[in-house]
């Protein structure tokens, strides 16, 4: 009769894997200094520089498209797309010290974020959550994007809350991607496409000059 227990053992094992692997929250060493850290674990699949466009559409092989609004960040800046896989931690971290200005959730239409990543369609039609932050380098934006399996974004923070670099912002369950929008002024990117990054510890950009930390300006 032991074989009758196999489905229960399998289900319980999958639950443990999900609970202690996908939802894990390992301690990360937050780098000191004037830098912007990655909001997510994963691989950088796209880096786009934009210039004086409030919003723009990107098409690739005429299959997918994404609309990103940048007016609330900066006239010039960078769009960095990070793809997460099943081996990555699925929590998102604050790239900088700052204050949460707004949180905009969209239920969206679900497409596989991993399968559609390279034509950018996932970030337009998937469930997503935009987090706009005020920081020492200006406004920045972190966009959580859920995949067809995930269908669930958890946000840990609220509008008006102050966060430190490396603090938890939220969680995307299972397959997902994260988009980071940065102003171009006063930063120097330290990553390129195909680089692997770690949430909270991987440096995305160095800040060229900064006199005070964000909280010293308050």
Q: Is the pLDDT of residue 184 over 60?
A: yes
Q: Is the pLDDT of residue 2 over 70?
A: no
Per residue in 65-119, pLDDT (tens digit) is 446 788 899 999 999 999 888 888 889 999 999 999 999 998 766 555 555 555 5
Q: How far apart are CA 201 and CA 172, in angstroms?
A: 19
Per residue in 25-79, pLDDT (tens digit) is 888 999 999 999 999 999 999 999 988 767 765 443 333 344 678 889 999 999 9
Q: Is the pLDDT of residue 121 over 50?
A: no
Per residue in 132-168, pLDDT (tens digit) is 999 999 999 999 887 655 568 899 999 999 999 999 9
Contacts of 112 (CB under 8 A, 6+ apart): 122, 147, 148, 149, 175
What CATH number belongs to 2-217?
2.70.70.10
Q: Where are the domains of the chain?
A: 2-217
For position 6, what pLDDT does the model report?
59
For position 92, what pLDDT does the model report?
96
For position 61, what pLDDT does the model report?
33
> What residue has token string 């092989």?
61
Side by side, the strands of the sheet bearing 138-146 are 162-163, 98-106, 128-135, 138-146, 176-183, 76-84, 42-51, 196-197
By annotation, the residues acting in catalysis are 176
Q: Is the pLDDT of residue 203 over 50?
A: yes
Q: How confident is the model at residue 202 (pLDDT cuts 50, 70, 90)?
A: very high
């Amino acid at each position: 009769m032991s074989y009758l227990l196999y489905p229960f053992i399998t289900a319980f094992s999958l639950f443990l894997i999900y609970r202690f692997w996908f939802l894990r929250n390992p301690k990360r060493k937050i780098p000191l200094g004037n830098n912007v850290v990655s909001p997510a674990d994963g691989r950088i699949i796209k880096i786009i520089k934009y210039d004086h466009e409030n919003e723009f559409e990107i098409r690739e092989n005429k299959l997918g498209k994404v609309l990103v609004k940048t007016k609330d960040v900066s006239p010039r800046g960078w769009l960095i797309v990070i793809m997460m896989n099943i081996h990555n931690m699925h929590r998102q971290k604050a790239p900088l010290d700052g204050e949460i200005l707004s949180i905009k959730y969209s239920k969206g239409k679900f497409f596989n974020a991993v399968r559609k990543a390279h034509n950018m369609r996932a970030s337009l039609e998937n469930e997503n959550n935009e987090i706009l932050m005020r920081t020492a380098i200006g406004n920045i934006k972190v966009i959580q994007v859920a995949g067809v399996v995930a269908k669930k974004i958890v946000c840990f923070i609220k509008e008006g809350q102050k966060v430190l670099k490396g603090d938890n912002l939220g969680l995307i369950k299972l397959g997902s991607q994260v988009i980071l929008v940065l102003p171009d002024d006063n930063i120097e990117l330290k990553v390129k496409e195909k680089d692997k990054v770690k949430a909270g510890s991987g440096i995305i950009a160095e800040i060229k000059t900064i006199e005070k930390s964000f909280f010293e300006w308050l």
